[in-house]
Amino acid sequence: MTAPVPFLRPQLPPLADVQRYYQAAEDARFYSNGGPCERLLRERLADYLDGPICIPVNNATSGIIVTMLAATHRAGTRDRPLVITPSYTFVATAGSLVALGFRPLFVDVDADGWQLDPAALERVLDTHGHEVAAVLATHTFGVPPAADVQARWVAACARHDVPLVLDVAAGFGAVDAAGARTGAGDQTHVFSFHATKPFAIGEGGMIATRDAELARHCDGIRSFGFLQGRVAALPGINAKLDELHAGVALTVLDGYADILAARRDTAEYYRLHLEPAGFRFQAGSTGGTWQAGYLQAPDPATRTALLAAGRAAGVGITAYYERPLHRHPAYAHAVADGELPVTEALAAAALALPMANDLTDAERGRVVDVVLETAKGS
**Residue ranges that bind ligand PLP, judged by CB under 6 A:** 59-61, 89-90, 92-93, 138, 167, 169-170, 192, 194, 205
Which residue stretches of the chain are H helix?
Answer: 15-28, 36-48, 60-75, 91-99, 118-128, 147-159, 212-221, 243-254, 256-274, 300-313, 341-349, 361-377
* Least distance to ligand PLP, CB of residue 312, Å: 28
* Least distance to ligand PLP, CB of residue 59, Å: 4
Helix axes 243-254 and 256-274, enclosed angle (nearest 10): 60
* Least distance to ligand PLP, CB of residue 85, Å: 10
Quick one: CA dihedral 133, 154, 99, 57, positive or negative?
negative
DSSP characters for 100-117? TT-EEEEE-B-TTT-SB-
* Least distance to ligand PLP, CB of residue 261, Å: 22
Q: d(Cα 295, Cα 336) in Å, to the nearest integer?
A: 25
Give whichever of 355 and 370 is closer to ligand PLP, judged by the CB atom. 355
* Least distance to ligand PLP, CB of residue 249, Å: 13
Give whichever of 59 and 188 is closer to ligand PLP, judged by the CB atom. 59
* Least distance to ligand PLP, CB of residue 14, Å: 22
Contacts of residue 165, Cβ cutoff 8 Å, sequence gap at least 6: 64, 67, 68, 71, 134, 135, 136, 137, 187, 188, 190
Q: Yes or no: say if 343 and 318 are a contact pair by the CB < 8 Å rule.
A: no
Longest dimension (CA), the chain: 67
Q: Yes or no: say if 353 and 292 are a contact pair by the CB < 8 Å rule.
A: yes
Give whichever of 192 and 251 is closer to ligand PLP, judged by the CB atom. 192
Give whichever of 99 and 277 is closer to ligand PLP, judged by the CB atom. 99
Q: d(Cα 327, Cα 334) in Å, to the nearest integer?
A: 10
